Amino acid sequence: MGLFSNGSLPGRYGVLLDIGSGSVLAAIVHSDPQKPHPVIVWSKREHVPLKDASSIGDSARAVMAALVNASMLLDSEGRQVLRQYDPRAELTDLQCGVSAPWSYTVTKTITYEQKEPFKVSDELLTKLTDAAEEKITGDLQVNESVQNLGLTIVNRSTMDVTSNGYRVTNPQGEMAEKLVLSHASVVTQTYLLDAITEMQEKLFPKTTSATTSYMLMLYSTLQSLLPDEHDYCAVDVTFEATEIGVVRDGSLQYCTHAAVGLYSIAREIALVTNIPVHEAYTHLRNPSLDQFMGGLSVNVRKNVDGIFAAYAKRIAELFHETGDRLAIPKQICVNTELASEPLMIALLTKAGIQALKTQPGIIRVASIIKNSMVAAKIATPNNTADEALYVAASFFHTPHSAETFTRK
């Protein structure tokens, strides 16, 4: 969009969807490339009810319902707020980030090495990229459990290229003896993609859409927030899942997840303490957790401690599923909602000790994001300004991230 095009404010306007494991966020964002932060014009998060989820299908249907509700609010309330903010604004982009368990980020690294120096060409890069994509496709085809989920590849992206051990942006024409290319593909539930496409065609037919995984968006954001960190494990704790991304030498090397999160823990606690699920969830997000635990009988408290210990053990096992003999890096970047950060840091520290046999370093991503959000302008006071929204808005606002990670 050109400067003052059609009398509108400079920059571009996008619809942002964040489809989490137990909620859906819809937002409208104004991105002016001349400013360091985007403007959150409007946003709302629709939560899935805290009832028992007996199967992944039940959870999926609940998330789909939340997507429909968020879309309706976006079309009515969101458009109205946008007109007040900029009467001539035109929505040009639809960005959708999808979290586990609805999406998977699959990474592969391809190495090309010769005894004599060789010139890096576009043809060689294309061949290495094709080889990485063939490996990823092959892994998905032989994984029966993934096949049965009905998944579609939504984007393929080259994240990192190193030449002779040095990271390069445009290696074409350079001489090298060793070239390493890191590639990622994102696969997402097909029925979810169909729902997003239907919503776009009905409500925003003139927008250009791009769908990617939340883990890739988080990785991109952490590169900006933590420029000096090159080896770490990003842990994203959502309502029904915990996803990890292993970053080594500044490149995302491996992703996996466990289908257990804050809502999952709350349901288990509600069952053993005989309290409503929403009350259990409130305790998990409140400094009153210690007081609540102190008021339990010895046996019930033992059961609750067992729930926490089982979660830490499951995540420790997840840390060992990376295929890396060293398990995860010693730095753990914990990304969860700010209110639940103290509890999750305690549990993930235990998991880290079990996996690493030493005390891990903890980086509080939610706290860092909160400080960064202060600089991002919120257009209306009633907006839902949470950590995931900042990640999505930052990803939309950064041209390098959009160009690098969302090519289909």
Q: How far apart are CA 255 and CA 156, in angstroms?
A: 15
CA 82-203-64 angle, to 5 degrees, is 105
pLDDT-wise least confident of 43-52, 199-208, 386-395: 43-52
pLDDT at 69: 94
Residues in a beta bridge with 18? 25, 97
Q: How far apart are CA 174 and CA 120, in angstroms?
A: 6
Q: What average pLDDT does the segment 218-223 reach?
A: 91
Give the domains, in start order, of the chain with CATH numbers: 5-101+191-223+372-405 (3.30.420.40), 104-186 (3.30.1490.110), 234-368 (3.30.420.40)
Q: Is the separation of the CB atoms in 10 and 386 below 8 Å?
A: no
pLDDT at 326: 61
pLDDT at 158: 81
Q: What is the pLDDT of residues 93-121, one digit of tens each?
A: 999 999 998 988 888 888 899 989 999 99
The proportion of the chain whose per-residue pLDDT surpasses 70, expressed as a percent, equals 87
What is the phi/psi pair of residue 392, to 5°?
-65, -45
Q: How far apart are CA 123 and CA 142, in angstroms?
A: 29
- Burial of residue 182 (CB within 10 Å: 0-12, 13-18, 19+) is buried
Q: What average pLDDT does the segment 369-398 reach?
A: 74
Q: What average pLDDT does the segment 149-174 reach?
A: 81
pTM of the full predicted structure? 0.87
Q: How far apart are CA 179 and CA 254, in angstroms?
A: 19
Q: What average pLDDT does the segment 269-287 reach?
A: 93
Strands (DSSP E) along 191-309, which ranges?
208-213, 232-237, 242-248, 251-258
Q: What is the CA radius of gyration of the chain?
A: 22
Q: How far apart are CA 145 and CA 248, in angstroms?
A: 28
pLDDT at 5: 47
Q: Which residue is it, tokens 């494990």?
A: 233
Q: Is the separation of the CB atoms in 212 and 154 below 8 Å?
A: yes
Strands 175-189 and 232-237: unpaired
pLDDT-wise least confident of 19-28, 136-145, 295-304: 136-145
Q: Which residue is it, tokens 């300004």?
A: 385
**CB count in 10 Å sphere of residue 326:** 10
Q: What average pLDDT does the segment 11-40 reach?
A: 92
pLDDT at 249: 84
Q: Is the separation of the CB atoms in 351 and 313 below 8 Å?
A: yes
User: What band does 6 get if pLDDT is binned at 50, 70 and 90?
Assistant: low
Tell me: pLDDT of 383 over 50.
Answer: yes
Contacts of residue 253, defined as CB under 8 A and 6 or more positions apart, other chains included, come to 107, 109, 182, 246, 247, 322, 324
Q: What average pLDDT does the segment 149-162 reach?
A: 79
Which is more confident, 318 or 384? 318
Q: Is the separation of the CB atoms in 110 and 128 below 8 Å?
A: yes
Q: Which residue is it, tokens 């991109």?
A: 220
pLDDT at 23: 92
First to last CA, the chain: 22
Which is more confident, 27 or 60? 27
User: What band does 376 get if pLDDT is binned at 50, 70 and 90?
Assistant: low
Q: How far apart are CA 105 and CA 368, in angstroms?
A: 24
pLDDT at 75: 93
Tell me: pLDDT of 142 over 60.
Answer: no
Q: What average pLDDT does the segment 291-318 reach?
A: 95
Strands (DSSP E) along 57-136, which ranges?
91-98, 103-119
